[in-house]
């Protein structure tokens, strides 16, 4: 009997967990291929800690080839999806074009930063969705502190030490608070600088931050961040950041050498060019069985979708509600999708995805956090412990759990590493200088 060719696009939460589930449940009947631009799955909830030096950035990612034995893992960028022909095209890093055929397709392409046409944004700002961005923010912040310590020009010093984060959602607040915590800790080694020299500014268009956690936790977090000396500007929009000249909707203008954009996500853009049915915001339309469906709810045979790139009905909340983009939904949907796909291939009945969101835990720096889960609200150290325990249990593979636990333990005894590795971005510089001198 010939095996069913399953092609999974994307190797993040959904891609990895779908492949693992399918491998187990449809053993011997499927040939699974997984395609991603990166050779690893990113455990995004650890990015703020990786950016803050509490975790080695490599330990916040899971290598796909190592964990997906028996699955064909390809590296490349999806450039086209023609489901009518059951063909996907992809570009490899060396410029070749791949054409992949399949019997069943899983769309697990996640999301990208949702940007706006703000002058300077695309050229000057940086996102915080991938490990390379978290590492770059960390190197930048530590590098700017080192430079600021060597200048006597007060304007330049202020520009170097002004860090603007735009977007006060869950990921943005964590990135903002963790980065500030690291920067403040780094000042210990710079007697030339004082706490007042650091300027951390959060810009949020809505009247509150952390909407996912409710108004009380949002208000608490604003007070907590302000108590630490950070500015949280609510009902304020970024209107420009050309060459670091920041303009805000409240009329303020100032210079900042670092602008981090964490103002939400949108579905992977390649979907817009596919022949798959999309929802109003560009997500692939999926049913509660995680099969792709048309506007009229008719199943499109041979294609499945889940996670940030999919519009999946939230059966807990009822008609018209969709599952929010979160790791919690992504992991559970992926396992559900894998089981449903295996059931479909075996001619069994499919089950509907229904999951009540358990809430969120967020770290705001060492020993600081907020949590809102199953009706329980925690603040400060208990929330931070819950954050670490929860994510240590959740990060895939024992290998990564062990490495992260070791990172934390080492930092407990020797403090976290404060070295800036900005020069990693220009590895040939020293050699070129040597060759020229």
Ligand X SMILES: Cc1cc2nc3c(=O)[nH]c(=O)nc-3n(C[C@H](O)[C@H](O)[C@H](O)COP(=O)(O)OP(=O)(O)OC[C@H]3O[C@@H](n4cnc5c(N)ncnc54)[C@H](O)[C@@H]3O)c2cc1C
Which residues of this protein are in contact with ligand X, per CB under 6 A?
10-14, 35-38, 44-45, 47-48, 77-78, 108-110, 128-129, 171, 175, 268, 270, 307-309, 325-328, 330
Q: Whole-number minimum distance, CB 50 to ligand X, in Å? A: 9
Bridge partners (DSSP) of residue 112 are 266
Shortest CB 74 distance to ligand X, Å: 9
Question: Whole-angstrom Cα distance, residue 17 to residue 21?
Answer: 6
Q: How many Å apart are CA 259 and CA 199, to the nearest integer?
A: 12
Q: What is the DSSP letter of 11?
A: -
For residue 207, CA distances in Å to 232, 234, 367 come to 11, 5, 27
Give the C-alpha separation, 23 to 13, whole Å. Answer: 15
Q: In terms of CB distance, is 36 or 224 closer to ligand X?
A: 36
d(C-alpha 337, C-alpha 314), whole Å: 15
Nearer to ligand X, 213 or 248 (CB): 213
Q: Closest residue to ligand X, Cβ-based?
A: 12
For ligand X, which is the closer residue by CB, 48 or 244?
48
Nearest approach, Cβ of 91 to ligand X (angstroms)? 9
Q: To the nearest whole angstrom, how small is the minimum distance from the Cβ of residue 171 to ligand X?
A: 3
Of 10 and 313, the one with the shorter C-beta distance to ligand X is: 10
The nearer residue to ligand X, 181 or 308, going by C-beta atoms, is 308
Tell me the closest approach of the beta carbon of residue 15 to ligand X, in angstroms: 6
Using the minimum distance from each CB to ligand X, give the nearer residue, 98 or 156: 98
* Min dist. Cβ of residue 429 to ligand X (A): 29
Alpha-carbon distance of 45 to 36, in angstroms, equals 20
* CA neighbor of 53 nearest in space, from 327, 366, 262: 366
**C-alpha to C-alpha distance for 345 and 252, rounded to whole angstroms:** 59
Q: What's the min distance (Å) between Cβ of 17 and ligand X?
A: 8
The nearer residue to ligand X, 212 or 257, going by C-beta atoms, is 212
**Cβ closer to ligand X: 38 or 401?**
38
CA–CA separation, 188 and 332 (whole Å): 43
Phi/psi of residue 24, nearest 5 degrees: -75, -45
The sheet with strand 376-379 has its strands ordered as: 359-363, 369-373, 376-379
Supply the DSSP string of 201-217, one letter for each residue. Answer: EEE-SSS-S-GGG-HHH
* Smallest gap from residue 256 Cβ to ligand X (A): 20
Reference 326, options 293, 284, 285, 360; nearest CA is: 360
């Amino acid at each position: 009997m010939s095996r069913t060719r399953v092609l999974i696009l994307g190797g993040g939460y959904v891609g990895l967990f779908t492949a693992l589930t399918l491998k187990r449940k449809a053993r011997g009947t499927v040939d699974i291929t997984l395609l991603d631009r990166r050779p690893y799955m990113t455990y995004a909830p650890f990015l703020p800690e990786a950016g803050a030096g509490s975790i080695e950035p490599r330990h916040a990612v899971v290598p796909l080839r190592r964990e997906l034995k028996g699955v064909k893992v390809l590296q490349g960028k999806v450039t086209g999806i023609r489901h009518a022909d059951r063909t996907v095209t992809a570009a490899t890093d060396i410029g070749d074009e791949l054409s992949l055929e399949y019997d069943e397709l899983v769309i697990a392409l996640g999301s990208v930063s949702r940007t706006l046409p703000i002058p300077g944004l695309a050229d000057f700002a940086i996102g915080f969705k991938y490990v390379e961005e978290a590492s770059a923010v960390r190197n930048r912040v530590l590098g700017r502190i080192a430079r600021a310590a060597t200048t006597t020009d007060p304007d330049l010093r202020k520009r170097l030490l002004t860090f603007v984060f735009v977007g006060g959602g869950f990921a943005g607040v964590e990135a903002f608070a963790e980065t500030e915590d690291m920067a403040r800790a780094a000042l210990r080694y710079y007697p030339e600088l004082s706490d007042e020299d650091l300027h951390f500014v959060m810009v949020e268009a809505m009247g509150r931050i952390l909407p996912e956690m409710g108004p009380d936790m949002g208000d608490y977090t604003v007070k907590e961040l302000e108590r630490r000396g950070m500015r949280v500007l609510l009902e304020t929009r970024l209107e420009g950041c050309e060459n670091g000249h920041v303009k805000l909707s409240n009329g303020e203008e100032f210079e900042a050498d670092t602008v981090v954009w964490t103002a939400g996500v949108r579905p992977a853009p390649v979907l817009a060019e596919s022949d798959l049915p999309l929802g109003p915001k560009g997500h692939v339309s999926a049913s509660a069985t995680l099969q792709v469906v048309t506007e009229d709810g008719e199943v499109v045979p041979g294609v499945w979708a889940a996670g940030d790139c999919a519009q999946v009905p939230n059966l807990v909340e009822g008609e018209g509600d969709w599952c929010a983009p979160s790791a919690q939904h992504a992991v559970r949907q992926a396992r559900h999708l894998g089981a449903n796909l295996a059931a479909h291939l075996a001619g069994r009945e499919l089950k509907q995805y229904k999951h009540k969101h358990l809430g969120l835990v967020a770290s705001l720096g060492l020993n600081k956090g907020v949590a809102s889960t199953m009706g329980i609200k925690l603040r400060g150290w208990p929330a931070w412990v819950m954050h670490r325990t929860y994510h240590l249990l959740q990060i895939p593979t024992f290998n990564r759990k062990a490495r992260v636990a070791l990172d934390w333990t080492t930092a407990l005894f020797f403090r976290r590493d404060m070295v800036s590795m900005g020069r990693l971005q220009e590895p040939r510089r020293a050699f070129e200088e040597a060759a020229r001198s």
